[in-house]
Chain A
Amino acid sequence: MPRPPDEKREFRFAWRSARQVASEVDAELAFHLARKTEELMAAGLSAAAAREEAEQRFGDLERTRRYCRDEDVRREREARHSTMLDELRQDLGYAVRALRSAPGFTLVALVTLALGIGANTAIFSVVRGVLLRPLPFPQAEQVMRIWHVNREANVDRSAVSEPDFNDWRAATTRFATLGAYWYQPGNSGANLTAAGRPERLEGTYITPGFFETLRASAALGRTIRSEEAVVGNDRYVMLGHDVWQRRFGGDSSIVGRAITIDRGPFTVLGVMPREFTFPADGVDFWIPLSTIPEDGIGRQRSSRFLAVIGRLAPGVTQTQGNEELTAIARRVAEGLPNATGFTEVTMSPIEESILGEVRRPLFVLLGAVGFVLLITCVNIAGLLLARATARQSELAVRAALGAGRGRIVRQLLTESLVLALAGGALGVGLAYAGVRALSALGASELPRAALIGMDPTVVAYAFGVATLSGMLFGLVPAMRATAPGLQMILRGTRGIAGTGGQRLRSALVAAEVALAVVLVAGAGLAARSFVRLLDVDPGFEPGNVLAVSLSIDSDRYPDERFLQYHQALLDRIAQVPGVQVVGAAKNFPLRGTGEVIAPVVAPGGGGRPDSPAMRLPILHVSPDYFRAMGIPLRAGRTFTPADRAGAPLVLLVNEALARRAWPDESAVGKTLRVGEQAVEIVGVVGDVRQRSLTEPAEPTVYIHYLQNRRSGMNIAIRTAGPPLRYANAVREAIWELERDQTITSLETMSSIVGRTLARPRLLTSLLLLFGLMGLSLGALGIYGVLAYAVSQRRQEIGVRVALGASPRSVLGLVVGQGMRLALVGVVAGIAGAALLTRLMAAVLFEVRPGDPATFAMVVVVLLGTAFVASWLPARRALRVDPVQALRYE
């Protein structure tokens, strides 16, 4: 017998379950059959016959039962949904009203949230663009970047010579394909002649197998195949997306047409997609390496300039691939007449080789900015707790009117989420500006920087973070505000944010301070490291030096005429008014170390006869290079015009080499054996940080420019005033001499130095910014809690003052409370910072993560800030008028 359904309809709280629905339907149908049976019995049928007849007449009873149940369950569900929607709408309206009624709180919360979420979004957009987007090659994890290794000479990552690469490629079975390329910014370029003046473009020279290894496909047309990159069949070019847009107006009929690169016709096979930025951003074209004439680059084994990549065959691990290539490399090396020492191979996944260096700093930033948001959330949670006081009677009334605890929690959470999402929307707006600011700060120097930007994923991230924040800062205050005991509030015997609430707020503030300590410690370490970096003496004076890079066309200026043209260029530039000294070098400092020559041996002649062969970088410079760059001459002489081609070869060495080879005597007059030739050292110059500011100068050999012809040319021009003022005159001077001379780049030496500082500067300035945000939020938290405490303790303070407490003791009371909070936070924060800053070790320069000076500074800064934040409310306590405070009661 089904239980009789509930009488109440109008005032129903609970929804009917499926079981209740079923029993109601059963009862309804049973009622019908019972009445029908009675009716038929009255007409004269027996009880059993009447029952049978009733069921017979009813029709399909079971089907109807099912149908009615289904309909009812559906109605129930629909009603429930529409009620929930109603409640949500109600909560939203309520939330907006509540937030508008507290404009001060809403403003503070919105601004801090917008900053926190905006900063997070901006940093995430960088992380996503640079680190998280897949590389533009399918199954990139199978693609390896491969280096030659020379254990004897301590070379753990060397480029590979073309003959070695060809041998490996012919022998490997564990790699599906091997490919190689030569790309060197400023050097591996070519002139593109379309309409008008030729333009210098950045290019990559590729071997057969390059595109097959990457499995990259063209956006338009197709990529160069292996058989189209061999001598005799190699006049093909792939264009980069940007140059295609810029020089060819995005014309898709370019595919199949011939364009002129360095005077020769090349057929355009296709255009690469915009996101294909391998090996670097800003590559304009890819052409076969085989198009470089035989004498243009070294094709012997000692000339290691190729970057090798390989795609592992299916199922082959990196270790297996490495084993095989090392075995091949050893076999090749053993078959050579002279031992080279290059008997091993090392490799890492290509993603690691592209992004390995930037991963750590970016994750440090993402972590730091996450901390900022965490502090923001803790701060808002504190504000919400304080607000709960003001709203306690309102909530109690709602509870008394029948709203369950869950319902009130839901309403308070809705309020927090509305706040968080509004903050998120503002944050997205800020992030748009932030991304641009990041580019200006140096994010554009990151690999794949072109992919940094706001897109739907980044916006979704922002709102995801906002929602999470809303839950985070809303939940605890909501649970607390609805804690049992509300009736007591109605009766006025207890306040929500009484002692318990205040204790919780104090704990939150201590947590804020702790988080801020970690942030400030990170910022402090980065700042100290950056200052160390700025203090590094690069070994030259970049101020007032204009740096021009160009490439001399060796077809147009063969042999003797090359040297003449080269000298003429320097002479012509020297005549520009305001130009003081002009020098040239194969490579500028911080732009690469130049060529590494075959072992140079420092033999007898007073040195250490047994000193092992050293592989030394060689730099080709013109006589005035040292003067132009401000590199001091330590001993002997620099080059003179007399040291020209044909004259006996002479060398200069840097101090690092002189110290290493001849520690106790002058290097001048000693000889170095270069290949089979003994060459005299005529002078010693100061050390220059050629590779990077963070690495000390390597032992280096300088050779006279004119004694060794190179087509790439970097000209350093020391000027009387700000160098860019002379840029146009210099450019005109060059074109006066040769109208078609392309200029690869023209900038100040300072900007070259500045660019190498771009990444540390980005990291440091952002960490400082985040540290500042954390500090301000922490101060805001302390201020808020103390200001509230002072307002709560008006009577107590009034009594104290009335009883003759000195202003000093009143100040001490309040400030003491603030400093206690700060101290707890600082102690906890220092412990956390000591742990977390260890993750920064890799991005710091000459500063250890646990640097005591930095940590001491952090403590001082935090306690100082806490003091100021406590002082202001304390001053207000002083102004309490005892009479008024007591009367208030």
Chain B
Amino acid sequence: MARSSPGLMQGTADVLILRTLAWAPMHGYGISRWIDERSEGALALEDAALYQALHRLERKGLVESEWKISEKNHRAKYYRLTPAGRRQLRTEVAELRTYMGVLFRVLDTA
């Protein structure tokens, strides 16, 4: 079953992941579920893109990871925000908000 919903730009995917982790540390599968549930399937974040983003963010020092036992007794790699990741999330959300505001102002007046 191919997904028909719009793909996400890379930067937007990063913000989304950071936002998810700001809520609680979780593993990759958990993040994927969380975004799917919150957006009711509207925001299609491909799993491949998710994991690539996670490892990229970890290298940039925005998230860090730890192997833990999950609630169902599996070993899973949990990610959590670093202080730098939290700061990054704040600035990116603010920028996105401004950008969207301007975008819609232009679209509404057209």
Contacts and interface: CB of A to CB of B under 8 A. Distances in A.
A72 B48 contact: no
A63 B29 contact: no
Interface stretch (B12-20, B51-59, B87-95, B100-108): B51-59
B75 interface: yes
A68 interface: yes
Contact of B48 (A7, A60, A71): A60
B46 interface: yes
B51 A29 contact: yes
A27 interface: yes
B48 A63 contact: yes
Given A4-B75, A63-B48, A71 B1 contact: no
Interface in B5-50: 27-29, 32, 46-49
25 contacts: A4-B67, A5-B67, A28-B27, A28-B28, A28-B51, A28-B77, A31-B28, A31-B75, A31-B77, A36-B29, A36-B47, A53-B1, A57-B3, A58-B48, A63-B48, A64-B48, A64-B52, A67-B52, A68-B54, A68-B55, A71-B52, A71-B56, A72-B58, A75-B58, A75-B59
Given A31-B27, A63-B48, A71-B59, A9 B66 contact: yes
B55 A72 contact: yes
A59 interface: yes
Contacts of A58: 46-48
Interface of A: 4-7, 9, 24-25, 27-29, 31-32, 34-36, 53, 56-61, 63-64, 67-68, 71-72, 74-75, 78
A67 to B, nearest CB: 5
A31 B29 contact: yes
Contacts of B67: 4-7, 9
Contacts of B47: 32, 36, 57-59, 64
A5 B68 CA distance: 10
Contacts of B32: 32
Give 3 nearest A-B pairs by CB, closest first: A59-B48, A71-B55, A75-B59
A83 to B, nearest CB: 14
Interface of B: 1, 3, 27-29, 32, 46-49, 51-52, 54-56, 58-59, 66-67, 74-77
Contacts of B52: 64, 67-68, 71
A56 B48 CA distance: 11
User: B47, B52, B58, B66: which has the most chain A beta carbons within 10 Å?
Assistant: B47
Instruction: Determine the main DSSP class of B at the interface with A.
Output: helix
A71 B29 contact: no
B51 A32 contact: yes
Contacts of B49: 59
Nearest to B30: A35
* Max count, chain A CB within 10 A of own CB: residue among B27, B48, B66: B48
Q: DSSP majority for the A interface?
A: helix
Given A9-B66, A27-B75, A64-B48, A32 B29 contact: yes
Nearest to B60: A75
Contacts of A57: 1, 3, 46-47
A421 B77 CA distance: 47
B99 to A, nearest CB: 27
Contacts of B48: 58-61, 63-64
Contacts of B77: 24, 27-28, 31
A149 to B, nearest CB: 77
Contacts of B76: 28, 31
A27 B68 CA distance: 13
Contacts of A75: 58-59
A63 B49 CA distance: 10
Given A5-B67, A68-B55, A71-B52, 13 more contacts: A9-B66, A9-B67, A24-B77, A27-B75, A28-B28, A31-B74, A31-B76, A32-B27, A36-B29, A59-B46, A67-B55, A72-B59, A75-B59
Nearest to B77: A28
Nearest to A28: B77
B71 to A, nearest CB: 12
A71 B74 contact: no
Nearest to B32: A32
A50 to B, nearest CB: 12
Most interface-central of B51, B54, B58, B77 (chain A CB within 10 A): B51
A456 B49 CA distance: 52
Contacts of B28: 28, 31-32
B41 to A, nearest CB: 12
A58 B47 CA distance: 5
A53 B2 CA distance: 10
Nearest to B2: A56
A192 to B, nearest CB: 73
Nearest to A67: B52
Contact of B51 (A4, A24, A56, A64): A64
Nearest to A61: B48
B59 to A, nearest CB: 4
B49 to A, nearest CB: 7
B110 to A, nearest CB: 36
B51 to A, nearest CB: 5
Which of A7, A53, A71, A75 has its CB near the most chain B CB atoms (within 10 A)? A71
Nearest to B76: A31
B29 A74 contact: no
Contacts of A67: 52, 55
A34 to B, nearest CB: 8
A814 B29 CA distance: 79
Given A64-B48, A68-B52, A75-B58, A35 B75 contact: no
A499 B3 CA distance: 80
Nearest to A60: B48
A523 B48 CA distance: 78
Nearest to B47: A58
A64 B28 CA distance: 13
A72 B52 CA distance: 11
Given A28-B77, A31-B29, A74 B51 contact: no
Contacts of A24: 77
Contacts of A68: 51-52, 54-55
B92 to A, nearest CB: 20
A56 B62 CA distance: 29
Contacts of A64: 47-48, 51-52
A31 B66 CA distance: 14
Nearest to B67: A5
Contacts of A9: 66-67
Contacts of B54: 68
Contacts of A61: 48
